Structure 1
Amino acid sequence: MKKTYGALAVAAIALMATPAFAQIKIGSAGPMTGANAAFGEQLRRGAMMAVEDVNAAGGVNGQKLELVIGDDACDPKQATAVANKMVSDKVVFVAGHFCSGSSIPASDIYKEGKILQITPASTNIKLTDDAFTKGNTTVFRTCGRDDVQGATVGAYILKNFKNAKVAVLHDKSPYGKGVADETKKALNKGGLKEAMYEAYNDTDKDFTALINKMKQAKIDIIVLGGYHTAGALIIKQSKEQGLAAKMVGFDSLETAEFAQLGGAATDGVLMSFPPKVEDDPKNAALVKKFRDAKYNPEGYTLFSYAAVKAWADAANKAKSTDAAKVAAALRGGKFDSAVGVLEFDQKGDIKNPVYDIYIWKDGKSAPIKK
């Protein structure tokens, strides 16, 4: 497990490129501790590098940035505490959170505190849909949504495993249930009715009962709506207990920890994820900076970097850090970023999001050739 920070801690991170007289506070929030700390590290590292680069280029409207880190441990109550602390610390922008179950309740607090929020990783459709309905115009994301991700996975299963017996599993979280339900919807629309639809507890360590139920149903495909820690245990225990079903997961599997926890059982696991921007030649210099700092920018690292940079570019364009003015600038422009050209719709979602299907082998994920 990577280096983490104390639960509920919200601490200013001193960056070499951020002097003590930093005049603008921005935040990065996510699971810095707990089972999903690997993803919190992705968000933290991306934000740190972005702040360093923005400050090196002159800052925002001539002012330097200071980064404040919030640890929500993917817990909604802890996320609201983090959000309230961001407000009291006079943060003007937050790149976060990671878990949809954290981003959604935090978004209401950020709205009241006039803090603009861009999540690099929360995909639940309710985040932006509900914010838009409530008139909250200061919520954005640099990732896609569950409906796009679910449609991608559903189409892949329908094309390649049309006659399979499918178990749709979810961990009851807004993210896990959301992406599982969107996939179920796509499968049903395509004429494939799932053989099982089951919830599980993300904190469980023994999934024997669930696996036995899948064995009895002769399940061929496990659609996993949940995070990498439970996913690794489910596939590992399934193999050990004689269930040869193929697992198909989503973006929450995109960390090397998934393979470390599940071992050889993760070989052949499929998942959806956006195109891997760390492999894009245009990002070679940026990726080298991360690796020179002894960190591999996997998963959502560059999405976090892009969130901070897009906000900074929009704030410079608006000549203000006021949330409403920066939001208007974000919606009114196109922003060249490490994850491609970002263009936002009225809800704050990126236009034309893309997900690919990846396969795990020998501890790494790689896109399946189309």
Structure 2
Amino acid sequence: MIRLSFTAFAITAFASAAGVAAGLAIPTPAYADVKIATAGPFTGSIAAFGAQMKLGTEQAVADINAAGGILGERIVLETADDGGKPEQGKAAANKLISDGLKFVVGHINSGISIAASQDYEEAGVLQISPASTNPAFTERKLWNTFRTCGRDDQQGPVAGAYIAANYKDRKVAIVHDKTPYGKGLADETQKAMNKGGVKEVLYEGINPNEKDYSALVSKMKAAGVDLVYFGGLHPEAGLIVRQMRDQGMKTVLMGGDAITDKEFWTIAGPGAQGTLMTFGPDPRKNPAAKDIVERMKARGIDAEGYVLYSYAAVQVIQQAAEAAKSLDPKKVAAVMHSGMTFNTVLGPLSFDKKGDITKLDYVVYTWKDGNYSE
């Protein structure tokens, strides 16, 4: 029989209790939610595009969370309204920075994305745009700028080559809205068109957000314009088409990816029949998007325009973070710059050292009966 003195027993008991207490005191890791923001025009004249972006990011966040989140952590989606205006965009970006956001899907407008990206870079925020096509967005080679769409120096040559091939002996006008996106795209198209042997009879800039473009329309009518290439957004494009029809003109309008919303048809009216535009291969027809497209359709949502480009942006962030085993934006960006292929609703995507996707991404569409098709 073993006998313990009271002192020995007390020491043993104290040590045991201390061990339990120490065990209870060991801190368990506290994980915060992964915050991702979507920043775009949720109010204003191009709110339709903001709605597309929001639908895509919301669906992606819901689907990724249902599958376990990112590195086991739940994504919380925040929104920031830039109103489609540079000043408001800058304020929205700084609000997200002050709120501690480190990943942003946005913006839509190239001018806003370019300006905001510098603030994001300084604050350590990774930015991936589903729609900003101006080359300058990524051409500065910032570590934090990416896009799931193509560039205007890819899009413009497709439009310019089409015009040169189909309007060789016709009269063509070039019109833009004076923004980085609109003028940049118009100039790239003009360059390719001229190279193909077609010289414009008019080159004009308009002020966006106006309602009356009749003076421009009259000038084009007097010049006998057969096709007008418009670098700008769908509200102005729709008004120009409607006002051309009001003056009895049958002139075809051709635009870029910024008229990819059914609101264009609503503004332009039936006279938009035959309008041409460039955009990426329809992601709704990509086998990788079939399940998402059908589920959204069951909810009455058409995954048009930038919906799936926005969905893909969230997928890329998730897969890059998993590969990096980190939520540090710079480590995530390093994976994205590495040439890794990401499986997305747009199909396989990889990025170059600038943050651009590595595939050519534009085809020509025509509008008919309220919808567009290749």
TM-score (norm 1): 0.91
Query: 1:304-324: per-residue Cα shift (whole Å, max 9, x none)?
Result: 000011011101110112121
1:308 alignment counterpart: 314
Of residues 244, 268, 282, the one that matches 2:274 is 268
Say yes or no: does 1:68 pair with 2:82: no
SS for the counterpart of 2:36 is strand
Larger Rg: 2
Of residues 93, 97, 108, the one that matches 1:87 is 97
Say yes or no: does 1:363 pair with 2:361: no
1:342 alignment counterpart: 349
- Matched-pair contact (CA < 8 Å) for 2:288–2:346: no
Within 2, Cα distance between the matches of 1:151 and 1:321? Answer: 38
Measure how far apart 1:53 and its partner are: 1.2
Of residues 109, 119, 123, the one that matches 1:99 is 109
Say yes or no: does 1:198 pair with 2:204: yes
Query: 1:185-240: per-residue Cα shift (whole Å, max 9, x none)?
Result: 11122222111110011111111110111111111110010111110110111011
Within 2, Cα distance between the matches of 1:342 and 1:281? Answer: 14
Of residues 236, 261, 269, the one that matches 1:255 is 261
Measure how far apart 1:22 and its partner are: 6.0
1:43 alignment counterpart: 53
Say yes or no: does 1:159 pair with 2:165: yes
Query: 1:36-83: per-residue Cα shift (whole Å, max 9, x none)?
Result: 001000100100111111111111111111001011011111111111
Q: Count how many residue pairs are aligned between Structure 1 and Structure 2.
A: 343
1:125 alignment counterpart: 135
Measure how far apart 1:279 and its partner are: 2.1
1:233 alignment counterpart: 239
1:294 alignment counterpart: 300
- Matched-pair contact (CA < 8 Å) for 2:106–2:127: yes
The residue identity in structure 2 corresponding to 1:290 is M
Of residues 282, 288, 293, the one that matches 2:288 is 282
Measure how far apart 1:294 and its partner are: 2.8
The residue identity in structure 2 corresponding to 1:338 is V
- Matched-pair contact (CA < 8 Å) for 1:38–1:257: yes
- Matched-pair contact (CA < 8 Å) for 1:22–1:66: no
Of residues 209, 214, 217, the one that matches 1:208 is 214
Query: 1:269-325: per-residue Cα shift (whole Å, max 9, x none)?
Result: 000010111122332211122123332111010000000110111011101121211
1:5 alignment counterpart: none
Within 2, Cα distance between the matches of 1:292 and 1:192? Answer: 46
Mind listing any 5+ residue stretches in structure 1 that lack a counterpart? Answer: 1-20
Within 1, Cα distance between the matches of 2:284 and 2:233? Answer: 22
- Matched-pair contact (CA < 8 Å) for 1:97–1:120: yes
SS for the counterpart of 1:358 is strand
Q: Give % identity.
A: 47
Within 2, Cα distance between the matches of 1:139 and 1:252? Answer: 20
- Matched-pair contact (CA < 8 Å) for 1:60–1:316: yes
Within 1, Cα distance between the matches of 2:290 and 2:34? Answer: 29
CA RMSD of aligned residues (A): 1.1
TM-score (norm 2): 0.90
Within 2, Cα distance between the matches of 1:141 and 1:185? Answer: 24
1:13 alignment counterpart: none
